[in-house]
Structure 1
Amino acid sequence: MPLHHRHLLLFLLLPFFFFFFIAAISAKNLSDYCPQTRCGSLIVKYPFYLESTAPSSSQSICGYEGFGINCSTGNPILTLPSDVYLVKSIDYNSKKLSLVDTEIGFNLCPAPGHNVSLDPNSTLKWDPVNTHYFFLINCTKNQSPSSNGYPPPTSSEYTLPMINCLSNQYYRSYVLPPDKASVSAQWLPVCNRSVLVPFAGVVSIPDNGGFPMTVKSGFMLDWSQAALCSGCEATQGCCGRKTTTGQFVCFCNDGLHDKNCKD
């Protein structure tokens, strides 16, 4: 082929090469939409996501609704209806995560300040390993007869020992097992507050020496597949939503789809 013909052919093909080059560098795959990141030592990946990385340039979030983790302080924080919680660990194989109240996690003698609740519509559920305990905080002397003037009665039949690090000469605090709800209600009028808090294990306070560590163990949650995600995940996609409208989207290797990677 004459040299000038080659130059002409190259000139004609150049726009096509340029087009495919731009397409190649601008194309996104699933890992671009749903990246694996870290917050401290915690690996954050689908169905969780870092709120600091969302929304992306495509104005969409890859992950389950309510699974956003805030890492602005360097600690992984998940928001539940009742408060914000420190994420201690996430097991992506068993679909379990361990949480602890931020007020408890950073306190030398933690006193739970509120009940822990979940959104009934969320895929996050209580793990069976949890036991819910009643905390009676800052209880004053009671006018009704009792063995020592402080609630609840010290009988080992239905109460655990007093929490020494949360008590003084004016107030005392106690923790009761879940089957003693009636006792908790009985003494509520003379206590500053009563809260129901889950823990992954048994709260044991033999000298109170192990109490802070036991309480700081936190609680466990499980998660299940979101109802809207079944079709998307069955076609190797990841679920998400548009940040502007909240509309469901399915992230696939070839881009965003409305329902699944085959629609």
Structure 2
Amino acid sequence: MATTSCWFLAFVWAVWWLPLMLAVPEEQQGDGCSAKRCGNLTVSDPFWLPDWEAGRSCGPLDFEVGCFHDNIPFLRSSGFDGYSGFSIMNISYEERNLRVVDLHKKSDFNVPNACNFPRLNTSSKLALPFKVNNSNPNLIFYNCTKAAANPDWAMVELTCLDATNAYVRAGVRYDATGAYAGYALEGCDAIVVPVVSSAGSADSNYEQLIQDGFLLTWDPVTDPI
């Protein structure tokens, strides 16, 4: 009789508590984060700002947005640390575009009386869901061991006072395959930097072009099965 009573009580406990236990994960997961603001930017699905009070994530990790000093939105998957990574200027949810600034490239040319030649292509910092929008033209920076022979009309020498045999070429069309070998110069290291626009010819205002950012696009986010 005692055994039967124990089984009956266990059954009642299971019937009472099981629905509540199953409801907890659903409540924690929720239907995604609500729209939030960082500075002048409204962040909404598929992007999200973490809810530190709730202590949970509510979106794809690659789309997590941080808010530096409570007013600078940044793409966390770009490795943002305040000095490098991508800060976000604007997001077009309809066109799946976001305008970002590569802070490392920006700071490279923001040192008084000097500049640090960029080392990596901007695209090397992209997480998988993102790619450079093909509407962006490119700048190509060259760091050469000697003066470039017969530089063409699309190249100008860098204006940094400590730069020697360093050049920038404007107006290079975007190539999704990264086939820029036709722009290689002998004895020069080169990197590719996308920008929103350029004049299509040599332009000494490359610092401003980098500060104006460039466009990224993302693939549609599908719900996990």
What is residue 221 of structure 1 aligned with on the other side? 216
CA distance in 2 between counterparts of 1:175 and 1:28 reads 51
Q: C-alpha root-mean-square deviation of aligned residues, in Å?
A: 3.5
Query: Which has the greater radius of gyration?
Result: 1
Secondary structure at the aligned position of 2:87 is classed as strand
Paired residues of 1:85 and 1:100 also in contact (CA < 8 A): yes
Matches within 5 A, 1:5-20: none
Matches within 5 A, 1:131-210: 131-137=137-143, 139-141=144-146, 150-156=147-153, 160-166=154-160, 170-175=164-169, 177=172, 181-188=181-188, 193-202=189-198, 208=204, 210=205
- Is 1:71 the counterpart of 2:67? The answer is yes
Q: 1:196 to 1:155 in 2, by over 3 A?
A: closer
Matches within 5 A, 1:23-38: 33-38=32-37
Matches within 5 A, 1:84-99: 84-99=85-100
CA distance in 1 between counterparts of 2:193 and 2:105 reads 11
Paired residues of 1:136 and 1:194 also in contact (CA < 8 A): yes
CA distance in 1 between counterparts of 2:221 and 2:208 reads 34
Q: 1:66 to 1:151 in 2, by over 3 A?
A: same
Q: Which amino acid aligns with 1:102?
A: L
CA distance in 2 between counterparts of 1:120 and 1:212 reads 22
Q: Which amino acid aligns with 1:36?
A: A
Aligned length: 183
Q: 1:89 to 1:197 in 2, by over 3 A?
A: same
Q: Report sequence identity in percent.
A: 20
Q: 1:155 to 1:194 in 2, by over 3 A?
A: closer
Paired residues of 1:86 and 1:100 also in contact (CA < 8 A): yes
Q: TM-score, normalised by structure 2?
A: 0.64
Secondary structure at the aligned position of 1:48 is classed as coil
Paired residues of 1:80 and 1:117 also in contact (CA < 8 A): no
CA distance in 2 between counterparts of 1:121 and 1:61 reads 18
Give the Å deviation of 1:47. Answer: 0.9
CA distance in 2 between counterparts of 1:63 and 1:118 reads 23
Unaligned runs of 5+ in 1: 1-26, 142-149, 230-247, 249-258
